[in-house]
Amino acid sequence: MATDLFSTARERLEDAARYLDIERDIIDQLRYPKETLAATLLVRMDDGSRKAFKSWRCRYDDTRGPTKGGIRFHPAVNVDEVMTLAFWMTFKCAVVNIPFGGAKGGVSVDVKTLSRAELERLSRVYVEAFSRFIGPERDIPAPDMYTNGIVMAWMADEYGTITGHPSPAIITGKPVALGGSLGRDDATGRGGFYILRHLGEDLGVSSDKSRIVLQGFGNASFHCARLLHDDGYRIIGLSDSTSAIYDPDGMNPYAVMEHKERTGHVAGAPTHGNARQLDNAELLETECDVLIPAAVENQITEANAARIKAPVILELANGPTTPAGDAILDKKGTVVVPDILANSGGVTVSYFEWVQNKAGYYWPVEEVHSRLKAILEPETRRVWEVARDKAVSVRTAAYVHALERIGHAVEARGTKAFFNQKN
Ligand code: NAD
């Protein structure tokens, strides 16, 4: 069994290939990234010194189109993680048929130690270093952990300075005032909501009887929670990085968010009076109908998977379940709607942002919502059918569905079978 993150992620590729009649050269192409560039970023600090930061950008595969993926600013960022995230992006874009390949970037930095001006300089230096690697038709970055709309605005501006003209399509997740798309802010949570509702009958989940627990209460989690709440689902558990709250009678996510914005925590938020405070680990193991991990990686592992009671898990976070945890859930019959499908609403609306930037024509939010739904529902149905037809987990089915699509794109330029045909 592989131990590094990238090799572990790549096991999904071999696993999916077992269920497809696919040529070996296609798998070989996808075993390693197309290209990865490392750069040392030298940034002038406020005290006049110059500090060096390690950084990377990986374009994993561009067979289906320009590569797409976020830029992460975090002290733990390394090349193994960047390649893994780029691999996941490749499959995420393919699973929902977005005409992009996968990419990812990162800088090893603790942004909490930087002033705002230093953060701006770091963001601009990143674009300078990778200006020939990225491009509106080549590789389109976006926000990820500890990067946000203003970082994207600085990066787009820097790219425009280098090219000599504004290029909003270079990056997505921009503020709306600078060419960002309406509906991007809640797209990940909304996508998860559409997918869960679409599979409701298949999963035995419905708004009148299903209890939901969400781990995390940030962008993805809050919007998913509020849409589920508005639709009648009962939100019985929520958490942040410090604590978790549980109320079997349900809680109002808007009130919890208002409390969190005021106090910095979900703890102590208004509930129905039957609330209890739990620790984060207990929340994951709470009895509920749907568990939605929406915080960080590696939360469901071989250490706790056996104790997870939820029969359905919707992975809004990237990589919340380890392969060992996944195997335990699979054996128990837990249905896991995997990250590459469950959180694909985000990249789908990023794609819409790129389309609008290139067209110079901007859509009303209702159009963004209806187009998002029109993409996610049929692709979710297809993944569900693959899982049923091949008797595999929904995760394996999502990889099979995506790999088949990437495989068709590679085959369209010819493979061994084509070149060995006699006529
Ligand atoms: P965010 O920073 O807005 O929110 C993260 C939340 O998780 C915060 O409430 C934080 O307090 C909480 N948290 C952190 N560590 C925790 C822990 N150990 N236990 C419980 N809660 C913890 O981030 P986000 O944008 O909502 O992203 C959340 C996840 O969704 C990430 O895995 C991200 O990669 C994934 N994702 C997000 C998007 C998007 O568009 N925002 C798209 C695709 C995937």
Is residue 278 a part of any domain in this protein?
Answer: yes
Asked whether residue 385 is assigned to any structural domain, the reply reads no
Would you call 104 a catalytic residue per the annotation? yes
pLDDT of residue 63: 97
User: How much distance in Å is there from the Cα of 297 to the middle of ligand 1?
Assistant: 9
**pLDDT for 1 beyond 90:** no
CB proximity list for 407: less than 8 A, separation 6 or greater: 20, 22, 23, 26
Task: Establish if 407 belongs to a structural domain.
Answer: no
* C-alpha 144 to ligand 1 mean position (Å): 10
Q: What is the pLDDT of residue 423?
A: 65
For residue 251, give the CATH number of its domain.
3.40.50.720
- Note whether 197 and 117 are same-domain residues: no
For residue 295, which atom of ligand 1 is closest to its CA?
A: 7
Indicate whether 402 belongs to any domain. no
Is the distance from CB of 372 to CB of 61 less than 8 angstroms?
no
For the Cβ of 143 lying below 6 angstroms from any atom of ligand 1, the answer is no
Last residue of a domain, one of 178, 213, 235: 178
| Cα–Cα nearest to 68, from 291, 405, 347 | 347
Same domain, 170 and 199: no
Range of the domain at 24: 2-178
Q: What span, in angstroms and rounded, lies between the C-alpha atoms of 397 and 386?
A: 5
Contacts for 309 with CB less than 8 Å, ≥ 6 apart: 285, 286, 287, 288
Q: Whose CA is nearest to atom 16 of ligand 1?
A: 241
Give the C-alpha distances (Å, rounded to integers) separating 250 from 224, 231, 259: 15, 13, 16
Ligand 1 centroid, distance to 222 Cα (angstroms): 10
Give the integer Cα–Cα distance in Å for 272 and 251: 7
Q: 77 and 221 share a domain?
A: no
Nearest alpha carbon to residue 311 among 286, 327, 289:
289
Euclidean distance between CA atoms 97 and 92, whole angstroms: 9
Cα-to-centroid distance, 239 and ligand 1 (Å): 11
* Ligand 1 contacts CB of residue 292 (under 6 A): no
What does pLDDT average to over the chain?
95
Structural tokens at position 217: 């209460």
Q: Is residue 68 part of a domain?
A: yes
Pocket flag, ligand 1, residue 108 (CB < 6 Å): no
Asked whether the predicted pLDDT for residue 8 surpasses 90, the reply is no
Structure tokens at 288: 């509920």
Task: Report yes or no: 259 and 288 within 8 Å, Cβ to Cβ.
Answer: no
3-state secondary structure (DSSP) of residue 363:
coil
Chain segment 336-376, per-residue pLDDT in tens: 999 999 999 999 999 999 999 999 999 999 999 999 999 99
Residue 291 near residue 308 (C-beta atoms within 8 A): yes
Q: Is 317 in the pocket of ligand 1 (CB under 6 A)?
A: yes
How remote is the CA of residue 421 from the centroid of ligand 1, in Å?
50
Domain containing residue 116: CATH number: 3.40.50.10860
Q: Is the CB of 318 under 6 A from ligand 1?
A: yes
Instruction: Look at the alpha carbons of 30, 32, 35, 38 in this order and tell me if their dihedral is positive or negative.
Output: positive
Amino acid 417: pLDDT = 82
The 10s digit of each residue's pLDDT in 153-189 is 999 999 999 999 999 999 999 999 999 999 999 999 9
Phi first, then psi: what are they for 377, rounded to 5°?
-65, -50
What digits encode the pLDDT tens for the residues 65-96? Answer: 999 999 999 999 999 999 999 999 999 999 99
Q: 326 CB less than 6 Å from ligand 1? A: no
Task: Flag whether pLDDT at 270 surpasses 90.
Answer: no
> From the CA of 294, how far away is ligand 1's center (Å)?
5
User: Which residue is closest in CA terms to ligand 1's atom 13?
Assistant: 241
Residue 404 belongs to some domain of the structure: no
Pocket flag, ligand 1, residue 125 (CB < 6 Å): no
Q: Which residue from 394, 409, 300 is spatially nearest to 16, judged by alpha carbons?
A: 394
Question: Which residues, 6+ apart, have CB-to-CB distance to 130 below 8 Å?
Answer: 37, 39, 55, 57, 105
CB distance 310 to ligand 1 below 6 Å: no
Cut 0.85: pTM above it: yes
191 and 336, same domain (yes or no): yes
* Spacing, Cα 299 to ligand 1 middle (Å): 12
Q: What is the pLDDT of residue 422?
A: 73
Q: 345-359 and 365-390 are packed helices; what angle lies between their axes, rounded to 10 degrees?
A: 140
Spatial contact of 269 and 251, defined as CB atoms under 8 Å apart: yes
Q: Is the dihedral of CA 115, 140, 320, 187 positive or negative?
A: positive
Together in a domain, 152 and 39: yes
Q: Which of the residues 92, 104, 174, 260 is marked catalytic?
A: 104
pLDDT, tens digit, 9 for 90 and up, residues 319-336: 999 999 999 999 999 999
Task: Tell me whether residue 29 is exposed, middle or buried, using C-beta atoms within 10 angstroms of its C-beta: 0 to 12, 13 to 18, 19 or more.
Answer: middle
**230 found inside a domain:** yes
Amino acid at 289: D
278 Cα distance to chain centroid: 27
Ligand 1 pocket mutation pick from 81, 213, 343, 372 by most atoms within 8 angstroms of CB: 343
Residue recorded with tokens 């559409």 = 194
Best residue for ligand 1 mutational test, from 93, 151, 213, 316 (most atoms within 8 Å of Cβ): 316
Q: Is the CB of 161 under 6 A from ligand 1?
A: no
For residue 141, give the H/E element and its range: strand 139-143
pLDDT tens digits along 209-247: 999 999 999 999 999 999 999 999 999 999 999 999 999
Does 199 share its domain with 287?
yes
412 lies in some domain: no
pLDDT digits (tens, 9 = 90+) for 9-30: 888 999 999 999 999 999 999 9
Nearest to 302 by CA among 331, 279, 280: 331
Q: 3 pLDDT band (50/70/90 cuts)?
A: low
Residues 72, 7, single domain; the answer is yes
45 near 116, Cβ under 8 Å?
Answer: no
343 lines ligand 1 (CB under 6 A): yes
Residues 129 and 252 in one domain: no
